[in-house]
Structure 1
Amino acid sequence: MTEFIPIGTRFFELPSPFPMKRGGALHGARAAYETWGTLNAERDNAVLIVTGLSPDAHAAMNTGNPEPGWWEAMLGPGKAIDTDRWFAICVNSLGSCKGSTGPASINPATGQLYRLDFPELSVEDGADAAFSVVHGLGIERLACIIGNSMGGMTALAYLLRHPGSARSHINISGSARALPFSIAIRSLQREAIRLDPNWNNGQYDDQTYPEAGMRMARKLGVITYRSALEWDGRFGRVRLDSDRRDDDDPFGLEFEVESYLEGHARRFVRRFDPNCYLYLSRSMDWFDLAEYGGDVMTGLAQIRVDKALSIGVQTDILFPLQQQQQVAEGLRAGGAEVEFLPLPSPQGHDAFLVDIERFGPAVSGFLADL
C-alpha cells in the first residue's frame, strides 16, 4: 500500500535498535514530524502535539506546506497555539502510514513491507518515538505537551516514562485507560477489516484492498466520534431525493445520514493503510496506566508536571467525560495545579476538531499563563 505523507514533512531517524514495549525492536525506523514558529535561545518555548489515530503531522500550514492542516483553526500566528510565541512540533504516530514507520513501511531485514511482521505496537512506543524526536531537536524540557484523543493517552505515557520532560500538559478528550465500550467498538472495527476476504491476513495490495471492511470500520468510528444530539440536529430523518437512491438495491441508502457516512468512509478508506489501522486501534485497547502502580490513579499520580488542563466533552461517548475528570484528579494527586473543563459541545468526541469557539479560548488561556 502507498504511504500518504504530506509535502514538507520531515523525518527523524529513531535510535536503532528501537525497543518496543511488548517485545521486539525496530531497526532503521523513523518518525515524521512538522514544526511551526521559532525555538528560542533558551529552548524553553516548545509545545509538542501528539495526535489521534488517523491524523498526520501536518496540523497546520507552514513554510513547507501551504495546505491547511487538520488543526488549522487552532495552530498558527495569533491562534490558540500561537506560533509567534511557541515553537510547535507535531509528530505522526509510530505505526501510522503517514510517514512514521509502521506496518506499511519497508522492513529492512526483508526488503518487503512489514505487514503483520511489525512488532506488537503500544501507545508507549509512540510516546517514546515522540520523545526521541523532541530530544533530537535539542529540547530538554517542553513547555507543554498537548494530546488529543489517542494523543491524550500518548501524552500521559510520555510524561510517565520520561519524568521531567514537560512543564505542563493539556489533555483533550483523552484517557488513562481504554473503557469496555471503546474496546468493544474498536474490536468490531478490526473484525470488519479482518473478515473482508481482500484483507487476506494482511497480504493485500492496491488492486485487492479490503475496501468493504475499511468502510465499515470507518463508519463505526464516525458514529462514535459524534453524538446522537449532533446526528439528530444535523440530519434528522431527512430522506435522499429519488435521483440519489439506487432503486436496484432494495436495502440501499435511503436517509441523508446514511449518505453522509458512506461518503465519509469512501474518502477515508484509500487514504489509510488497513494494517496500520489494526495496530493503532489495538494499541489503544491495551493502554492502561494501572500497569504503573496497580491502579489508574496511582499511575497518574506518578506523573510530575507543574500545571495541567484536562478538557472533556459532555456528549463524548467514545472517551466519556469521567475519563478526563479522572486524569485531572490523578494529576492533581501527583502535585500538579490542574483544571478540569467539561464542555457542552454537541459534536461529541470530534468537538476538539470543530468547536474552536470553545476549545480555542480554553487552550489559549492555559498557555497564556505559562
Structure 2
Amino acid sequence: MTEFIPPGTRFHSLPSPFPMKRGGALHGARVAYETWGELNPAGNNAILIVTGLSPDAHAASNAGNADAGWWEAMLGPGKPIDTDRWFVVCVNSLGSCKGSTGPASLNPDTGTLYRLDFPELSIEDGADAAREVVRGLGIERLACVIGNSMGGMTALALLLRHPGLARTHINISGSAQALPFSIAIRSLQREAIRLDPNWNNGNYDEATYPESGMRMARKLGVITYRSALEWDGRFGRVRLESDRPEEEPFGLEFQVESYLEGHARRFVRRFDPNCYLYLSRSMDWFDLADVAGGDVLQGLARIKVEKALAIGASTDILFPLQQQQQVADGLRAGGAEAEFLPLDSPQGHDAFLVDMERFGPAVANFLAVL
C-alpha cells in the first residue's frame, strides 16, 4: 500500500529515537502538517488543530493546495477560525497514512513497510508528535488547541502531558475516555478488517487488498457518524429504481444501502487498513482516569488552561453529550473558565463537519474574546 499525501503538505522530522508510550520507538519518523495565516511578532496568535481518525492535514484551501479541505467552512479569512487573525497549524495524526509515519510507512531499519511491526500506538503518542511540530515552528505557547472527535482526545492528552503549551482549548465532539458503545463499534470494525482473508495478518498489497473488510468497517462507521433522525429525513424508505438482479437476491434495495455502499467504496482505497486498525485501537485505550487512580474528572482536573469550551451534538451516539459535559466539568475543577455547549443538531457525530450554522458561531464566539 502507498501513503495518500495531499499536495502542499509539509513535514516535521521527529526526534530520533521517538519513544512510544506503550514501548518501542520510531527512528526517522515525521509528522505531516499544513499552516494558514501568519505568526505575529509576539508569537501569541497560534492555533493548533488535531484531527479525527481519517482526515489529513489539509483542513482548508491554502497557498500550497487550492482544493477545498475537510473543514473548509470553518477555517479561512473571515471564517470562524479567521486566518486573517490567527496562525493555524493542522497536523495529521501519527500512525496515519496521510503523510505522518505509520504502519504504511517504510521502516528504516528494514527497508520494508512497517505493517504490524509498527509499535503499539496510543493517543498520547500522537499528542507528543503534535507538540514537536508546535515547537519546531517556534511557537512557545498556543493561543488555543482545537480537537474534534479523536482529536478531542489528542488535545486533552497534549494539554495534560505538556503543561502550559496552550492558553485555551476547544473540545468538539470529543471525550476523556472511550465508552463501551464506542469500543464495541470500533471492535466490530476492526474485526471486519481482520476477518477479510486478504488482510492476511497485515500483509496485503494493491492486488490483494482487504476491500470487503474495509467496506464493512467504513459502513459501520458512517452509520454511527450520523443520527437515526438524519437517516430518516434523507432517505426514508425510498427504494432504488432498478430491480434487483436475479443473481443478487439479497443485494442493495434501498437508497440508504446504496449511499453507504458508495461512501464505503470511495473510502476503502484511500485509507490504509493497518493504519485504520492502529488508530481505532488507540481511541479505545485512551482514558484520562488512568492518571488519577480511576477518576476521569480528577484526570481532567490535572489539565491547566485558562479557558475552555466543550461542544457536542444532541444526536451524537458515538461521543454523546455527557462526555463533553464531563470534559467541561473536569477542566473547570482544574481552575479553567470552562463552558459546556450542547447543540441541538440532527446530524450526529459528523455535525461539526457539516452543521456550520450551529458549530461555526460557537467556535467564532469563543475565539473572538481571546
- Give TM class, smaller chain: over 0.9
Matches within 5 A, 1:191-206: 191-206=191-206
Alignment of 1:88-237 (within 5 A): 88-237=88-237
Matched with 2:73 is 73
SS of the aligned residue for 2:187 comes to helix
- 1:242 has 2:252 as partner: no
Q: Percent identity?
A: 84
Q: Distance in 2 between matches of 1:206 and 1:129?
A: 29
3-state SS in 2 of match to 1:253: coil
Give me the whole-angstrom Cα distance separating, in 1, the residues matched to 2:67 and 2:115. Answer: 30
Query: Which residue matches 2:267?
Result: 268
1:24-43 C-alpha deviation (Å, 9 max, x unpaired): 00000000000000000011
Given that 1:74 and 1:80 are in contact with CA atoms closer than 8 Å, whether structure 2 keeps it comes out as yes
**Contiguous gaps of at least 5 residues in structure 2:** none
Equivalent residue number for residue 82 of structure 2: 82
User: Deviations along 1:232-251, whole A, 9 cap, x unmatched?
Assistant: 001000000026x4332000
Offset at residue 293 of structure 1 (A)? 1.1
Letter in 1 for 2:17: P
Matched letter for residue 58 of structure 1: H
What is the CA-CA distance between 1:168 and the residue it aligns to? 0.2
Moved over 3 A (4+): none
Aligned length: 369
The TM-score, its normalising length taken from structure 1, stands at 0.99
Partner of 2:315: 315
Name the SS of the counterpart of 2:142 in structure 1: coil
| Counterpart for residue 55 of structure 1 | 55
Matching residue of 2:251:
252
Unaligned runs of 5+ in 1: none
Out of 291-300 and 19-28, give the one that drifted further.
291-300
Structure 2 residue identity aligned to 1:253: L
| Rounded Cα–Cα distance in structure 1 between residues aligned with 2:269 and 2:226 | 22
Q: Which amino acid aligns with 1:116?
A: L
CA distance in structure 1 between the partners assigned to 2:39 and 2:324 by the alignment: 30
2:283: which partner in 1?
Answer: 284
1:272 Cα shift? 0.1
TM-score (norm 2): 0.99
TM-superposition CA deviations, 1:63-119 (whole Å, max 9, x none): 000000000000000000000000000000000000000000000000000000000
CA distance in 1 between partners of 2:265 and 2:347 (Å): 21
Q: CA–CA distance in 2 between the matches of 1:264 and 1:73?
A: 21
Report the counterpart of residue 21 of structure 1 in structure 2.
21
CA deviations over 1:214-269 (Å, ceiling 9, x no partner): 000000000000000010001000000026x4332000000000000000000000
2:4 maps to what in 1?
4
Deviation, 1:341, is 0.4
- Secondary structure of 1:90 counterpart: strand
- Secondary structure at 1:310's aligned position in 2? strand
- Report the 3-state secondary structure (helix = DSSP H, G, I; strand = E; otherwise coil) of the residue aligned with 1:84: coil
In the alignment, the residues of structure 2 paired with residue 2 and residue 202 of structure 1 have an alpha-carbon distance, to the nearest angstrom, of 14
The match for 1:331 is: 331
Q: Distance in 2 between matches of 1:197 and 1:160?
A: 41
Cα pair 1:77 1:84 within 8 Å, conserved:
yes
> What SS does the aligned partner of 1:102 have?
coil
Q: In the alignment, residue 70 of structure 2 is paired with which amino acid?
A: W
Equivalents in 1 of 2:284, 2:180: separation in Å? 9
Aligned-partner residue type, residue 137 of structure 1? L
What letter matches 1:65 in structure 2?
N
Deviation at 1:58, TM superposition (A): 0.2
RMSD: 0.5
Asked whether the equivalents of residues 246 and 253 of structure 1 are also in contact (C-alpha less than 8 Å), the reply is: no
